[in-house]
Amino acid sequence: MGETLPPQWRRNLIQVVPMLITLALILVAAAPAQTSTVVPVTPMLALMSIFYWSVYRPEWLSAPVVFFLGVIADCLLGGPLGLNAILYLFAYGVTTAQRLILQSRPFAISWLAFGMVTLTCTALSWLIGALFYGTLFDPLPFMVQALLTVLLFPLFARGLIWAEVRLARLA
C-alpha cells in the first residue's frame, strides 16, 4: 500500500490516516444502525480508535486533531457541544500518559485499560450531561453504551492493528 509514494507523501499519509479512520468511525456511529434493541444507543466507536492510537502511535494523532474530531462528533451526534471533545481529550491524555505500561503487555491488559477509560468517560459524560441539562439521566443507556463499546473493542482493534502495520511499513 503506497510503498512507491514519495517520502513526503508517505509522512502526510501517516499523519492523516489515523484521523480519517477516527472520523469514519464517527460517521458510522451517526448512521442509523440497530445495534441494540434494549435502548437505542450506538457504541462509542471513535473512542476505540483514539485509545488505540494513543497507546501504540501517539505521534500519529495530536491533541488538536483529537479536539476537532470531538467537536465534529458533537455536531453530528448531539448532546452538549464540547462533550465529546472533552471525553476524547481525556481518553487521549490519560492513555498517552500510561502508554509505556500498556505497550509491551498482552492485548488483554490493553482491553482492561480500555474498559476503565470507557467507564470513566461514560461516568464523565453522565455527569456533564446532568449538569448541562439539569436532569439526572437514566443510567441504563449509558451502561449499555459502555458495555457495547468494551465488548466490541477486540473486533475493531483487529482492524486498527492491520492499519497500523500497513502504515508502519511506510514510515
Partner 1 sequence: MRIRETKVMHHAMPLRAWGHRLAFGLFVFAAIALIILSRIDQSLSDRLRQSVLDIFAPAITVVQEPVGAFNQAVAEVRALIALRDQNLALLESNRRLQHWRDTALQLEHENSQLRDLLLTSKEPLQNFVTARAIGDPGGPFVRTLILRTGVEAGIDKGDPVLGDNGLIGRVITVGRTSSRVLLLTDLNSRVPVLIADSRIRGILTGDNTAQPRIAFLPQSAEIGEGERVITSGDGGLFPQGLTVGRVVRLEDGGIRVALSTDIARQEFLRVMKYTPLAVDPVPQPDLSGPMRMLAPLWAAAKDAPPTAQSCTGATLGTGGEGVPLPMQRPEDAARQAAAR
User: Using CB under 8 A as the criterion, which residues of the chain lie in contact with partner 1 when the complex forms?
Assistant: 24, 27-36, 39-42, 56, 62-64, 66-67, 70-72, 74-83, 85-86, 89-90, 92-93, 100, 103-104, 125-126, 128-129, 132-133, 135, 137-138, 141-142, 145
**Closest distance to partner 1 from the beta carbon of 145 (Å):** 6
Give the side-chain half-sphere CA count within 13 A for 147: 11
**Closest distance to partner 1 from the beta carbon of 168 (Å):** 10
**Closest distance to partner 1 from the beta carbon of 157 (Å):** 17
**Closest distance to partner 1 from the beta carbon of 61 (Å):** 12
Categorise residue 168: left if φ over 0, alpha if ψ from -120 to 50, beta otherwise. Answer: alpha
State in Å, rounded, how far the first CA of the chain is from the last one.
12
* Residue closer to partner 1, measured from CB, 17 or 83: 83
Distance CA 111, CA 163 (A): 18
The distance between the two most distant Cα atoms of the chain, rounded to a whole number of Å, is: 56
* Residue closer to partner 1, measured from CB, 35 or 120: 35
Contacts 24+ apart (CB under 8 A), 104-109: 107/154, 107/157
* Residue closer to partner 1, measured from CB, 41 or 48: 41
* Residue closer to partner 1, measured from CB, 133 or 162: 133
Residues 137/126, Cβ–Cβ less than 8 Å = yes
